[in-house]
Amino acid sequence: MSVAIEVHQVCKYYGSLCALDHVDLKIEAGEFFALLGPNGAGKTTLINTIAGLAITDSGSIHVMGNHVINQYRQARKQLGVVPQELVFDPFFTVRETLKIQSGYYGISNSASWIDEIIDRLGLTDKADVNMRALSGGMKRRVMVAQALVHKPPVIILDEPTAGVDVELRQSLWDFIRQLNIEGHTIVLTTHYLEEAEALCNRVAMLKQGKIIALNSMQDLINNMTVGYSLRLRLQPDSLPSILQDKQIGNHNGFYELKIDAHAQIELILARLREENIQILEMQLLQPDLEDVFVSMMKNSIPEM
């Protein structure tokens, strides 16, 4: 499998602030990749360096084998970026905006592809509407369309669903999933961790300019030291003393017990039967990406 994005020992400073600290990252062609981190972690700075919009102080970056500085034109043609900010020209319609964007890449006779993008992003009834008259969610869709007019193999989405309602968000992800199935490499930054968990195969987590975790989504979750927990609502409402050392919470009538392996569930149930305690409700909770994220951000030691 070829490498879509390769970041090697990249450092970026803004005065005394180290925004990126010796970042190493390889994203394979065809991946759906998540780049996560809190505000100020360096995500947007990394995206800007990949797009050639910010110059690194050291290290190198290649997009589809092209150096983002020395081969800027070739690298930029391989890349479509949907920025976090809503940036648009208020004097043009949606269709005119996309035609102008095509021109930046020297593309002519692009009407059929623009019509297809407009249709697939649900912009057909807005195609001839001035950009300033669109809602925030529709403007966000146009920005996605702008990133796709030159058919780039690599697409970076920086908080693409910020401020977008549920219906628009779902249709946008349906389209992005289809692009990934068709072979496009997708890199996503988002604060909606449930989206990243549902969509992405692999994830990197940034903290203070450093990558502190890089793994497949499933392995990151499976390796969580928090483990599983069992939530129980009991009758009578009393937890046997022998199980109290496993208790990690008691909320809304539910006891929450920590378990390290599924085999412990039967031992807990056996103890309850011995005490003639009836289980009214039972839920098995397992760690998710949010648990991983919170744990990683609390841990100051990089984990790879």
**pLDDT by residue for the chain (304 residues), tens digit each?**
599 999 999 999 999 999 999 999 999 999 999 999 998 899 999 999 999 999 999 999 999 999 999 999 999 999 999 988 888 888 899 999 999 999 888 888 888 999 999 998 889 999 999 999 998 888 888 999 999 999 999 999 998 877 677 777 888 888 889 999 999 999 999 888 888 888 999 999 999 999 998 988 888 877 765 567 888 999 998 888 888 888 888 888 899 888 877 788 888 999 999 999 999 999 887 777 877 787 777 775 444 4
- pLDDT score at 302: 43
State the first-to-last Cα distance of the chain, in angstroms, to the nearest integer: 22
- pLDDT score at 230: 87
Domain harbouring 151, CATH code? 3.40.50.300
Q: Are 205 and 212 in contact (CB under 8 A)?
A: yes
- pLDDT score at 244: 87
- Residue 27 inside a domain? The answer is yes
Three-state DSSP at 174 gives helix
Cα separation, 147 vs 98, whole angstroms: 9
- Residue 180 inside a domain? The answer is yes
* Count of domains forming the chain: 2
Question: Is the pTM for the entire model greater than 0.75?
Answer: yes
Backbone angles phi, psi at 217, to 5 degrees: -55, -45
Cα separation, 243 vs 266, whole angstroms: 13
* Token pair for 8: 């090697």
CA distances from 119 to 141, 208, 297 (A): 11, 40, 40
- Residue 302 inside a domain? The answer is no
Residue ending a domain, choose from 207, 222, 237:
222
- Residue 298 inside a domain? The answer is no
- Residues 106 and 252 reside in one and the same domain: no
CA distances from 227 to 118, 169, 195, 248 (A): 45, 31, 22, 12
- Residues 118 and 243 reside in one and the same domain: no
- Residue 250 inside a domain? The answer is yes
- Residue 177 inside a domain? The answer is yes
Three-state DSSP at 1 gives coil
Residue ending a domain, choose from 168, 196, 222:
222
- pLDDT score at 225: 54
CA distances from 187 to 5, 144, 154, 240 (A): 10, 13, 8, 49
- Structural domain containing residue 60: 3-222
- Residue 295 inside a domain? The answer is no
- Residues 217 and 232 reside in one and the same domain: no
- pLDDT score at 253: 86
Give every CB contact of residue 292 below 8 A, 6+ residues apart in sequence: 213, 220, 221, 224
Cα separation, 169 vs 138, whole angstroms: 11
